[in-house]
Amino acid sequence: MRRADTIAKLRRARARMTGSVGLVPTMGYLHAGHLALVARARAENVHVAASIFVNPAQFGPTEDYAHYPRDLPRDLRLLRGAGVDLLFTPAAADLYPPGFTTWVNVEGLDSQLEGKSRPGHFRGVATVVLKLFNLVQPTRAYFGQKDGQQVAVLKRMAQDLDCPVKLVLVPTVREADGLALSSRNVFLTPPQRAGAAVLYRALQEARRLYAAGERSGERLRQAMRAVVQEEPLGALDYASVADLATLQEQETVRGPVMASLAVRFGKTRLIDNILLGA
């Protein structure tokens, strides 16, 4: 595995690659969810490139940028073992040099759901992902369904800006009790960790009702809220049943929708989602 820690080195390494390239963007502190993306990229491309970059532009001023978990030696071992050919680990000053002022706003999609609690988050995500697309020029790029709104935002961006890359979605990897793997799970105390399974239980309740024929968006949202309210350590941020592409809340579920929720456990905010009718 070759490691490029500057844009110049990345461009030189990329220029030597021929054939398809799969890109897996990450913020590091890797777990089995990230490795599922790498495995899929490995299976579908001649070369696999990954990036580790804790992107300051997608963190709000009161969020956990400084405290986001990092363990580069361990990440290097995992990515080497998973068959990554090229790892990009840029410094923030390399991607955002003095004078940087161009941002990607995926209007409308960036202000719903996560965007309400995290203004500016998707501007940071879309901008850095477009930069990674321009630098790595991947044939395919791999993203987790775990971050469902991110998927909707990036699909829209790639379509609107004619990015010559295929976005590939990988199903969410979960713990035995259903909790979606996340780098932030490390912040949970043992009682919070036990309580965090409530997100998946709430989503399963929505799935059960949907399977039984419930098509009222509000009753599905209310059912998820009720499950989360039973968990004393969790504070619900939102429960949503929204259109996959527009992220508009649905009054009546007709096509495929994303049921999603965000719940705070102390200072740690967890998100999860499932697709219904997809």
Among 138, 144, 195, 217, binds ligand AMP (CB under 6 A): 144
- Binding to ligand AMP by residue 37, rule CB under 6 A? yes
Side-chain-side CA neighbours of residue 273 (13 Å): 28
Among 146, 156, 193, 269, binds ligand AMP (CB under 6 A): 146
> Would you say 189 and 205 are in contact if contact means Cβ atoms under 8 Å apart?
no
- Minimum CB–partner distance for residue 222 and ligand AMP (Å): 26
- Binding to ligand AMP by residue 138, rule CB under 6 A? no
Q: What is the dihedral of CA 154, 122, 80, 163, to 10 degrees?
A: 30
- Kindly tell me which of 180 and 253 has the beta carbon lying closer to ligand AMP: 180
Query: Which residue sits closest to ligand AMP, CB atoms considered?
Result: 144
- Kindly tell me which of 111 and 178 has the beta carbon lying closer to ligand AMP: 178
Binding window for ligand AMP (CB under 6 A); candidates: 75-83, 142-150, 227-235, 240-248: 142-150
What whole-number distance in Å separates Cα of residue 187 and Cα of residue 189?
Answer: 7
Task: Tokens for 79, please give them.
Answer: 């990515």
Task: Tokens for 68, please give them.
Answer: 């986001």
Amino acid at 172: T
- Binding to ligand AMP by residue 203, rule CB under 6 A? no
Among 4, 10, 34, 113, binds ligand AMP (CB under 6 A): 34
Among 21, 26, 59, 82, binds ligand AMP (CB under 6 A): 26
- Residues 158-187 contacting ligand AMP, CB under 6 A: 170, 172-173, 180-183
Burial group, residue 86, by CB count within 10 angstroms (0-12, 13-18, 19+): buried
Strands (E) in the chain, as ranges, are 2-4, 21-26, 47-52, 86-88, 140-144, 166-170, 234-243, 257-265, 268-276
What is the DSSP secondary structure assignment for residue 37, as one 8-state letter?
H
If we measure between CA atoms, which residue out of 120, 167, 109, 174 comes closest to residue 139? 167
- Binding to ligand AMP by residue 273, rule CB under 6 A? no
- Binding to ligand AMP by residue 95, rule CB under 6 A? no
Query: Which residues make Cβ contacts (< 8 Å) with residue 100, sequence separation at least 6?
Result: none
Among 143, 187, 238, 265, binds ligand AMP (CB under 6 A): 143
If we measure between CA atoms, which residue out of 127, 129, 57, 51 comes closest to residue 84? 51
- Binding to ligand AMP by residue 36, rule CB under 6 A? yes
- Minimum CB–partner distance for residue 51 and ligand AMP (Å): 9
SS3 label, residue 3 = strand
- Kindly tell me which of 13 and 153 has the beta carbon lying closer to ligand AMP: 153
121 is catalytic: no
- Kindly tell me which of 181 and 258 has the beta carbon lying closer to ligand AMP: 181
> Would you say 48 and 42 are in contact if contact means Cβ atoms under 8 Å apart?
yes
- Kindly tell me which of 173 and 247 has the beta carbon lying closer to ligand AMP: 173
- Minimum CB–partner distance for residue 208 and ligand AMP (Å): 22
Which positions are annotated as active-site residues? 34
Interaction site with ligand AMP (CB under 6 A): 26-27, 33-34, 36-37, 143-144, 146-147, 170, 172-173, 180-183
